[in-house]
Structure 1
Amino acid sequence: MAMGWGVVLRGFLPLCLRRLACLTTNNYMGARIRPVRTDLTVTCRYPLWTTHPVRTLHLCPNLCAGHNKWSKVKNIKGPKDAARSRMFMKFGMMIRIAVKEGGSSNPEFNLALANVVEQCRGKNMPKASIEAAIKGAEKSKAGTQHTYEARGPGGCMLLIDMLTDNNTRSHQDLKHLLNKHGAALCDGVRHNFSRKGVVVAQGQGVSSERALELAIEAGAEDVQETEDEDDKSLLQFVCDMTELKKVRTSLEELGVRTVSAGLEFVSHTPTQLPQAQLEAALSLIEALSDCLDVVRVWDNIQAHD
């Protein structure tokens, strides 16, 4: 009896191996595994396994490109949300400054605060966040505001407005950031800027000639063409600080849709930079804007023609 079972096993094992080899190697490179019928009832009374349909395997690398929902969220939505969060934090700091300088948390009695609130609304900052920032401005820890002067790549001039509760730390961080991008703190830069009122309006469909006519009719000193972060055309109407409200009202009466109005530093000695130095300067400004203590950066950069 033992010898009989030995004969059966000697015939059974090679058959199993042949079946397994057929199952695992014949069609592997073709990326399709087909079920192989294994009927061993001739050798053994009961089959050792049964076959089931196998799902087709796709091994083509083109189907594994990673274009899924998470990759879009990580590579597109994530950075946008981070930039949006930083922008709202900056607006919160600007509200603190406006409340401190204006002496009131009521926008009706504080023109600077009213201008900042309008900028917040223009950037779709939630109303609840604006109200919370205004309410918390009076209770927040007292911070100090500083405007640093710096000279960047190609000799461009920068004014860096900062709000911090730790002057030593912020000063050291700013120096490190400037040195990293080939810039340094420098005295006398402020003399190249003037404090002006600036009314920002939508510029789509408005020609340069028409923009100049609107500036003259509204009483503005100058008008400049620029773009926002979404590459949409904007017009900046520059005027005297005391004429800010009047110029904005006049523009709206002329049918111009204004976006914001506020006080800014405007350069009266622009510097032209070649492409290489322009890219280095823009990289520096972007790094400064990402710094949490930096509220605003002004420059006198003009692209080389």
Structure 2
Amino acid sequence: MAAGVLLRGLLNLCPRRAALTSSSLTRPVCLMHSSLQPLYPNPTWGTLPVRSLQLCTHLCAGHNKWSKVKHVKGPKDAARSIMFAKFAMMIRIAVKEGGSNPEFNVALANIVEQCRNKNMPKASIEAAIRGAEKAKTGIQQTYEARGPGGCVLIIEVLSDSTNRSHQEIRRLLNKNGGALADGARHNFSRKGVVVVYGGDISMERAVELAIESGAEDVKEDEDEEGNPVLQFICEITDLRKVQNSLEGFGMRVVSASLEYVAQNMASLDQNQLEEASNLIEVLNDWADVVRVWDNIQAQA
């Protein structure tokens, strides 16, 4: 989901987002969206500690349109090669940080699961793990940048040369409407993100699953093939618990990983979306770039 590419046509979709907060209330709460009737219009229970939910549509207005821009690929064979190369880099980082045994390295286990879900051959996964053990350590770096329309980017790089990485990232940004910018990271929080296939699950049911699994937020999105998915966002320490809970509820988990989650979104028009998509595509095409995170949403 990290590779961004250009799509000229945008779908007029507007997903909803559910923000979860914890509180102890002294009276029953009716859970409702502005367009829905209360789920429990005549509550009969007494005082209970509960979570209050609000469906915050405006927080992610147009997000699916941006998903369409950044996910639709060019030639599929070339896209698969790039995707597998990125997975190999992620495996290398995970092995460096926690060892080569997925049973004792949660990060590696999650990446291997993502590789399988994307049909990366087993032999290629095993070769990547073996190669990571023998490869030079490499230097993992994170760059902060601003792009078209004032959007913010976090660029994760794995390289054996800090100077080369810095020069190339700066060149790619300057050439494609972006620039390095200190402080951009403050627009993001490091969170655990569990992605599951959405299917026919309603947002109301997704909210219930988020509460029951211990997630603090859930939002709708689409994968690279345009299939609906749900992203359950949680604290880093709760990642494995939320994943196990969702699997226990029968959900098919696509991935579970640590990500930068945008807190303040940048609303871009169609021309700016195309420019941002091109910039992210160029960055992802460079071999040393592992992932690019953004805070982009399409204007409603």
If the length of structure 2 is used for normalisation, what is the TM-score?
0.74
Deviation at 1:79, TM superposition (A): 2.2
Partner of 1:234: 229
Deviation at 1:82, TM superposition (A): 1.2
Partner of 1:148: 143
State the alpha-carbon separation in 1 of the partners of residues 219 and 74 from structure 2. 33
Seen in structure 2, the aligned counterparts of structure 1 residues 78 and 281 have a Cα distance that, compared at 3 Å, is: closer
Deviation at 1:166, TM superposition (A): 2.2
- From 57, 75, 80, the counterpart of 2:76: 80
Partner of 1:286: 281
Q: CA RMSD in A?
A: 1.4
State the alpha-carbon separation in 1 of the partners of residues 202 and 74 from structure 2. 36
- From 183, 186, 197, the counterpart of 2:181: 186
- SS of the equivalent of 2:97 reads helix
Q: Which runs of 5+ in 1 are unaligned?
A: 1-76
Partner of 2:292: 297
Of 91-100 and 166-175, more deviation after overlay is shown by: 166-175
Deviation at 1:211, TM superposition (A): 1.4
Query: In structure 2, what residue type is equivalent to 1:302?
Result: Q
Deviation at 1:254, TM superposition (A): 1.4
Partner of 1:41: none
Larger radius of gyration: 1
Task: List per-residue Cα deviations over 1:56-96 (Å, max 9, x = no partner).
Answer: xxxxxxxxxxxxxxxxxxxxx99211111111111111011
- SS of the equivalent of 1:162 reads strand
Q: Which runs of 5+ in 2 are unaligned?
A: 1-72
- Could you tell me whether the CA contact under 8 Å between 2:96 and 2:137 is conserved in 1? no
State the alpha-carbon separation in 1 of the partners of residues 274 and 246 from structure 2. 35
Query: In structure 1, what residue type is equivalent to 2:286?
Result: C
Seen in structure 2, the aligned counterparts of structure 1 residues 78 and 204 have a Cα distance that, compared at 3 Å, is: closer
Query: In structure 2, what residue type is equivalent to 1:189?
Result: A
Q: % of aligned pairs identical? A: 68
State the alpha-carbon separation in 2 of the partners of residues 131 and 143 from structure 1. 20
State the alpha-carbon separation in 1 of the partners of residues 80 and 180 from structure 2. 29
- Could you tell me whether the CA contact under 8 Å between 2:156 and 2:290 is conserved in 1? yes
Partner of 2:96: 100
Deviation at 1:209, TM superposition (A): 1.6
- SS of the equivalent of 1:229 reads coil
- SS of the equivalent of 2:136 reads coil
Matched, 1:165 2:160: yes
Matched, 1:214 2:219: no
Quick check: which one's helix share is greater? 1
Q: Count how many residue pairs are aligned between Structure 1 and Structure 2.
A: 228
Query: In structure 1, what residue type is equivalent to 2:122?
Result: K
- From 233, 242, 250, the counterpart of 2:245: 250
State the alpha-carbon separation in 2 of the partners of residues 207 and 138 from structure 1. 43
State the alpha-carbon separation in 1 of the partners of residues 103 and 153 from structure 2. 32
Quick check: which one's strand share is greater? 2
State the alpha-carbon separation in 2 of the partners of residues 274 and 224 from structure 1. 22
Query: In structure 2, what residue type is equivalent to 1:208?
Result: M
